[in-house]
Structure 1
Amino acid sequence: MTIISPDAKPAAAPGTSRVLLAYLRRDRLALAAAIFLALIVLAAIIGPWLVGDAASRLGLRQRNLAPFSLEHSWIYFLGADTLGRPLLARLIVGAQSTLGIAAAAVFSSMLIGGTLGLVAGYSERWYSHMILRLADVVMSFPSLLLALIVLYTLGPSITNLVIVLAITRMPIYLRTARAEVLELRERMFVSAARSMGAGAARILLRHIAPLVLPTLVTIAAIDFATVILSESALSFLGLGIQPPDFTWGAMVANGRGYLSTAWWVAFWPGLAIMLTTLSLNILSNWARTVADPQQRWRLQTLRKAAR
């Protein structure tokens, strides 16, 4: 017979971060994607400070320098572009611009679309229908075509680029938030809060929004890769960020005329775009599997297979 002391404390349950790390270690592909994205984010944050002005410094002696050579410096390991600027430094600085624009666009679209979705889902007044019609109008246009028209009219700039990308992605968050609210507003806890005299704003902010937010964050993680591709396409067409600033898409556009003589000028930024979007998709699929209890058994299967 086991005697339990009254002073004994129950074992602490593992924290959420520890559980997520355990699930991440079971999926090696998701772990590799997370490590790669962490390195990209780290390079975007501290990389420009490390390389200084090397990304914009001209070096005509290193013009179209081939990669995989340490003859000049480690910063020329990936080669140089047509003006002798080291591609490694430009990739690091371009990561900051690319990820910064994508993050601003995704956050803006999630904030605006989520807020409008909360209002449209909870209220049954005329403006909720107006919000839905607004989303229908935006979704009726191809996103890239709409972005081209707006940027051609207003002119390419970082602000206009973020606004256009946010507008084209906003209906996804709006409709998702509205669908969640339509189901949550009929729950018992909402009726109880309403009977206690809570107003619509308090119910939305204190009771419904915290339950909708995880779904929107999951969509944002998936949408981040799409926004990066859209920004790269617009920069490739010359309607994105303008010189002297640049992104990975602009680097690909600058190197497209030298594919036969200096393939590395366009190859490395294109590879960075591909690996970043691929890693984001892999990690978002892993997050969706972890968040769904009915799909979590897949990670258990991966762990048994690894053994």
Structure 2
Amino acid sequence: MTSITPKTNPTAAPGTGRILFAYLKRDRLALAAAIFLTLVVLAASFGPWLVGDAASRLGLRQRNLAPFSLEHAWVYFLGADTLGRPILARLIVGAQNTLGIAAAAVFSSMLVGGALGLVAGYSERWYSHLIQRFADVVMSFPSLLLALIVLYTLGPSITNLVIVLAITRMPIYLRTARAEVLELRERMFVSAARSMGASPARIVLRHIAPLVLPTLVTISAIDFATVILSESALSFLGLGIQPPDFTWGAMVANGRGYLSTAWWIAFWPGLAIMLTTLSLNILSNWARTVADPQQRWRLQTLRKAAR
């Protein structure tokens, strides 16, 4: 007696990347934001190698050169500043500094704030309440005012700028992680791990932290735009990165005195700041929609409307 096995034609299940890309294609605004951010990241990563020292090389013959001029090299396509330095090259180099400072500040605040939030949420000892009071004190001051006071006292530098930005954004991750831990520590898998003799450190690091991390990553994507605006404001006021280094905010500050005669000096870096923060907000809203099953139907509606 022979058994006949039916022929099957298994199809490989689409991976997570393909699913996310399919959802991204259904939202054209989010797709445009993702493409723009990809170009900005590529320019910040490889652009300084391409332009070389053009961003800092003086060219007095090209002082206040108007944009869209085809009589000079391609780096002068967006014009030149008051010292003849090409704005396009400075935008590329400034993107590396701006995104680098923002990424360091967001990563530091997420790491330290998330760790403190895990401790404050799981433990009920005295240092848990001390951590909460620390977050309350930091949030009681306006973040920009606190950054101005600290940078004016310690002096402007890249290290101090990253530390100040990280401290001002840390309470957001601390409170979010603590709220998540307060709910997770009452679940059955935590009680089971505790009954099996697992130490508190193992429970927090092995069972709770992996569930809190996606929420912190989502918040960091939203907070990235806020940190870019804060860094640009501090650089605009002269308390950010110092010459000869520069960021987009410092470029806007250099061109504020020439808005009536050479508007392009401040316009292009201001436009870069606006488009980058707008793209980050659009992409974070799209990610929140994809992550929420109750809101994912919006992308299905967009697909039907596109047809």
TM-score, with structure 1 as normaliser? 0.98
The offset of 1:125, in angstroms, is: 0.5
Q: Distance in 1 between matches of 2:275 and 2:264?
A: 16
Q: Residues 190 and 2 of structure 1: is their aligned pair in 2 closer, same or farther, counting only changes over 3 Å?
A: farther
Tell me, in whole angstroms, the C-alpha distance in 2 between the residues paired with 1:224 and 1:167: 14
1:46-94 Cα deviation digits (max 9, x unpaired)? 0000000000000000000000012011110000000000000000000
Q: Distance in 1 between matches of 2:206 and 2:243?
A: 45
Query: In the TM superposition, what is the alpha-carbon distance from 1:196 to its structure 2 partner?
Result: 1.1
Report the RMSD for the aligned CA atoms in angstroms: 1.9
Q: Distance in 1 between matches of 2:241 and 2:115?
A: 28
- Specify whether residues 208 and 4 from structure 1 end up closer, same or farther in structure 2 by C-alpha distance, changes over 3 A only: farther
Gaps of 5+ in 2: none
- d(CA) in 2 for partners of 1:195, 1:271: 57
216-225 vs 2-11, which deviates more?
Answer: 2-11
Compared with structure 1, are the counterparts of its residues 91 and 2 closer, same or farther at alpha carbon in structure 2 (3 Å cutoff)?
farther
Q: Map Cα deviations across residues 140-177 of structure 1 (whole Å, 9 max, x no partner).
A: 00000000000000000000000000000000000000
Change (3 A) 1:268 1:2: farther
Displacement of 1:5 after TM fit?
3.4
Structure 1 residues 115-154: Cα deviation after superposition (integer angstroms, max 9, x where no partner): 0000000000110000000000000000000000000000
Cα distance change of structure 1 residues 79 and 196 upon mapping to structure 2, 3 Å threshold: same
Q: Distance in 2 between matches of 1:277 and 1:58?
A: 30
What CA distance in whole angstroms lies between the structure 1 residues aligned with 2:103 and 2:5? 52
Summarize deviations over 1:36-55 as a string: whole Å, max 9, x none. Answer: 00000000000000000000
Q: Secondary structure at the match of 2:56?
A: coil
Distance (Å, rounded) in 2 between the aligned partners of 1:219 and 1:2: 59
Match of 1:90 in 2: 90
Give the stretch that moved more between structures: 278-287 or 13-22: 13-22
* CA 1:305–1:115: 2 relative to 1, 3 Å: same
The structural deviation recorded for 1:12 is 2.8
Structure 2 vs 1, CA of residues 4 and 305 (structure 1 numbering), >3 Å: closer, same or farther?
farther
Q: 1:267 to 1:2 in 2, by over 3 A?
A: farther
Moved more, 11-20 or 106-115: 11-20
Q: CA deviation at 1:2?
A: 17
Deviation at 1:10, TM superposition (A): 4.2
How has the CA–CA distance of structure 1 residues 265 and 199 changed in structure 2, closer, same or farther, with 3 Å as cutoff?
same
Tell me: CA distance 1:181–1:9, structure 2 relative to 1, closer, same or farther (3 Å): farther
CA distance in 1, matches of 2:185, 2:273: 41
Instruction: Specify whether residues 137 and 56 from structure 1 end up closer, same or farther in structure 2 by C-alpha distance, changes over 3 A only.
Output: same
With over 3 angstroms needed to count, the CA separation of the structure-2 counterparts of 1:250 and 1:2, relative to structure 1, is: farther
Q: Return the alpha-carbon distance in structure 2 between the equivalents of residues 190 and 70 of structure 1.
A: 66
Q: Which residue of 2 aligns with 1:195?
A: 195
Count the aligned residue pairs.
Answer: 307
User: 2: CA distance between counterparts of 1:115 and 1:56?
Assistant: 41
Give the direction of change, closer, same or farther, for the CA distance of 1:64–1:195 in structure 2 (3 Å limit). Answer: same
- After superposition, the Cα gap between the structure-2 partners of 1:233 and 1:118, relative to the gap in structure 1 and judged at 3 Å, is same
Deviations 1:264-303 (CA, angstroms, capped at 9, x unpaired)? 0000000000000000000000000000111101111111
1:20-169 mapped onto 2 (5 Å cutoff)? 20-169=20-169
4+ residue segments displaced more than 6 Å:
1-4
The alpha carbon displacement at 1:4 in A equals 8.2
- What is the CA–CA distance in structure 1 between the aligned matches of 2:3 and 2:148, rounded to whole Å? 74
SS in 2 for 1:14: coil
Cα distance change of structure 1 residues 194 and 49 upon mapping to structure 2, 3 Å threshold: same
Task: Measure the CA separation in 2 of the matches of 1:5 and 1:241.
Answer: 70
